[in-house]
Amino acid sequence: MTLKKLKTHFAESLKGLYPSEEIQSFFNILSEKYLNLSRIEIALNPEKTVSETEAEKFQKAILRLQNHEPVQYIIGETEFYGLPFKVNEHTLIPRPETEELVEWIYIEFSNQQSTINNQQFLDIGTGTGCIAISLAKNLSNAKVSALDISEEALKIAQQNAEMNKVKIDFFQKDILAAETLPKKYDVIISNPPYVRELEKKQMQQNVLKHEPESALYVSNEDPLLFYRAISHLAKKHLNPEGKLFFEINEYLADELTVLLEGEGFKNIQVKKDIFGKDRMIKCSLNEPAK
């Protein structure tokens, strides 16, 4: 089979399930993984022969895509903040808005590289480890820890830390049941579950059917459950000048601000993502020095 015929078969098999641009993107991603061909090389070599083994890999991928499985799970990897990350069904696929959260933190601390030598960062609900690893890679003097309730997710996170050549102190903990944390921290970050059950109808099938529910959803009745638990622990385990960063539900910024004020946090700042949605918040235990 030629590359051109494979591409046509691939597009026909997924027609009606995805937009044509997304199908093209899937084909390019799989071609890079299975054929080691770039998008340009695909366009320049339409008559290139594809082996039976290679064609079979594409056919298996088609079946999984027809079941709305995320292409990142199919190839077992994704990119986040310019770094490679392994992913599987036990981990949430990192989102662009989480990259924006990392960038916000990086900008805040990058000018302090010489002074953060012993500053302690903690990522709560680390999943793939994308936040912790990206910060450790780019803030080389920071000491980074990360926790998750899922043993399987922590296995992937550890592999990702090794792949990206950073040292992270990973540990398993259920943050909703935790009464303490191991030490004091200068920065605590979390992207906890925040999608309400009522918002499921807005989600894509690939998310609904395949990504881990425990990393995504909260009840309609108590959507700030994780934020309450984390902020309560942060109040006890942040150093005096410590900061707390969250990724948030775009519809709940006001409610979360009230919660954080009630816990005694100061200097609360909500930040919009590139689409103008309230998606991040930061606060501190004390007012900034004048």
227 carries a ligand binding annotation: no
Residue 253 three-state SS? helix
**Dihedral sign, Cα of residue 111, residue 117, residue 120, residue 126:** positive
**194 assigned to a ligand binding site:** yes
Report the length, in residues, of the chain.
290
What span, in angstroms and rounded, lies between the C-alpha atoms of 94 and 81? 10
Contacts of 76 (CB under 8 A, 6+ apart): 86, 87, 88
N-to-C CA span, the chain: 70
127 is in an annotated binding site: yes
Residue 163 makes CB contacts below 8 A (sequence gap 6+) with: 84, 85, 86
The Cβ of residue 192 has, within 10 Å, a number of other Cβ atoms equal to 21
Task: Determine if residue 193 is labeled as part of a ligand binding site.
Answer: yes
The encoded tokens of residue 241 equal 């000048």
What is the C-alpha separation between 146 and 208, in angstroms, rounded?
26
Is 111 annotated among the ligand-binding residues? no
CB neighbourhood size of 274 (10 A): 9
| Closest among 84, 70, 87, 80 to 26, alpha carbons compared | 70
Please indicate if the annotation marks 128 as binding a ligand. Answer: yes
Task: Please tell me the distance from the alpha carbon of residue 11 to that of residue 29, in angstroms, as a whole number.
Answer: 14
**Binding-site residue set for S-adenosyl-L-methionine:** 125-129, 148, 191
* Residues annotated in a binding site: 125-129, 148, 191-194
**Residue ranges for the binding site for substrate?**
191-194
